[in-house]
Amino acid sequence: MTPTALADRPQSSNVGPDARKWLDANLPDALREDVLQQTPRTLADMRAWEAQLHKAGLVGSTWPEAYGGRGLGLRAHLDISREIGRTPMPESVNSIGKELAGPIIMAVGREEQKLEYLPAILEMRNIWCQGFSEPGAGSDLAGLRTRVEKTADGWVVNGQKIWTSGASKADRILLLARTGTVEDRHKGLVLFAVRTDTPGVDIREIRSIDGERHFCEVFFNNAVVPEEDMLGSPDEGWAAATRVLSIERATNRMHRAWRFENQLQHLVSACAANPATRELVERDYAAQLADVSVNIDLLKGHVETLVGSLIEGEEIGPRGSLPKLFWSEAHQSFAALALEIVSRFPPDMSDPLRAVKLRMEEIYLKARAETIYAGTTEIQLGIIAKRILKLNRKA
Ligand SMILES: Cc1cc2nc3c(=O)[nH]c(=O)nc-3n(C[C@H](O)[C@H](O)[C@H](O)COP(=O)(O)OP(=O)(O)OC[C@H]3O[C@@H](n4cnc5c(N)ncnc54)[C@H](O)[C@@H]3O)c2cc1C
């Protein structure tokens, strides 16, 4: 989706209050991340919840109505995102579909692909994962080796992907592969929408530090993908992926700053409600928590500035790296501070303190990866130095 397309869309002044009202009335206790008694969430629960969010108009607000969206502008999306962020609801299990595959399909897909794939993403009939990274190609994505070869039956895929989040739950994988050899670098890269149940696609889960099995390795062994599942043309893969990645880096999970604020407020209010922990944070952590609050405000400013730029039709390009870098570093240091605070709670803590402790411990573990995925901190610093400051690194 181009910035200009977003600029042309109507804005809506009521979407924020409407979203708040709906969420207040409909977010089930079972999905709140700030309560002690959490019931295990199944994939079916999440599909049902996210389909409900879509029906309520809280997902896909900027997508055209023909593809299941509301055809609203980016400002309306920001208004809704603020309200989503203010709640302690779980992150989407289909954020790759909604925030990466969807925009790519809109940018390069054929009309019949848009009509088939896009409503299925919003209605949660299809969950997507992203098959870009490989054992030898993460930061240096142009070094990927997975090959596709055209045959009479379709395209034959061979290779391996890694760190494919959610692949074992996904229906489709957004695959970036090459027609030539690794020496071709950015040339000959092609995108496919591969069904995960295709014979020759082998998905293996990897257990991560938080005990989850969200990450996967995906092996392609002579997997045949039909021609109609190619997105764009051969050779268009790199341009489509990087253009959308830069816009998405700037605007994806736009609710982050407000969710971050919800986490801080949960920690502070739980501590303040108990005399011993109130004394602990007032004595030892007040200044550091105030600093976190400043960072959250700066992050909101980043997001609002970028949204303003996109609405004006400006290219975001390397500026997408600024909020990614700032958010991931600020949130990771908040998570470390929060872990330190909750580890000093008294052993006979109350249920509300236990709930915040469990939440902060989980946030800490998840935050370790935030400075790696969607481009590492070092890569973002390199982009800002080279492309914004025009500084070339000396060896
Ligand atoms: C939680 C999580 C979810 C992910 N989900 C997905 C997914 O769904 N799909 C997918 O395709 N990928 C996914 N990834 C992979 C992610 O995109 C890569 O991990 C990331 O791009 C880094 O690549 P790498 O792990 O190969 O590390 P490398 O690229 O090998 O980097 C190793 C270290 O070297 C540094 N480095 C590398 N190049 C440079 C340079 N030029 N200048 C300075 N420093 C440099 C890096 O900053 C890093 O510290 C996920 C990763 C994580 C952690």
Give residue limits of the domains in the chain. Answer: 3-91, 128-234, 253-388
Burial code (b: 16+ CB inside 10 Å, e: under 16) for 169-187 equals bbbbbbbbbbbeeeeebee
Mutate to test the pocket of ligand 1, among 104, 163, 329 (most ligand atoms within 8 A of CB): 163
* Residue 253 Cα to ligand 1 middle (Å): 19
* Catalytic annotation, residues: 248
Give me the phi and psi of 146, to 5 degrees please.
-60, 130
253-388 folds as Butyryl-CoA Dehydrogenase, subunit A; domain 3 (1.20.140)
Atom of ligand 1 nearest to the CA of 130: 9
Mutate to test the pocket of ligand 1, among 373, 387, 391, 393 (most ligand atoms within 8 A of CB): 373
* Residue 325 Cα to ligand 1 middle (Å): 14
Atom of ligand 1 nearest to the CA of 165: 8
Q: Output the residue whose Cα is nearest ligand 1's atom 18.
A: 138
Q: What element of type H or E holds 160?
A: strand 154-161
Spell out the per-residue pLDDT of the chain, length 395, in tens: 444 444 445 555 799 999 999 999 999 988 999 988 777 789 999 999 999 999 999 999 999 999 999 999 999 999 999 999 999 999 999 999 999 999 999 989 999 999 999 999 999 999 999 999 999 999 999 999 999 999 999 999 999 999 999 999 999 999 999 999 999 999 999 999 999 999 999 999 999 887 888 899 999 999 999 999 999 988 888 888 776 676 666 678 899 999 999 999 999 999 999 999 999 999 999 999 999 999 999 999 999 998 999 899 888 888 888 999 999 999 999 999 999 999 999 999 999 999 999 999 999 999 999 999 989 999 999 999 999 999 987 65
* Residue 375 Cα to ligand 1 middle (Å): 6
Residue with tokens 């870098």: 325
Question: In whole angstroms, what is the distance from residue 111 CA to residue 299 CA?
Answer: 37
Q: Say yes or no: domain 3-91 is CATH 3.30.470.20.
A: no
* Residue 139 Cα to ligand 1 middle (Å): 5
- Ligand 1, residues at Cβ distance < 6 Å: 129-133, 138-139, 163-165, 369, 372-373, 376, 378-379, 382
Q: Are 91 and 262 in contact (CB under 8 A)?
A: no
Nearest partner of 63 among 21, 129, 132, 120, judged by Cα: 120
In one-letter notation, the amino acid at residue 114 is: K
CATH architecture of 128-234: Beta Barrel (2.40)
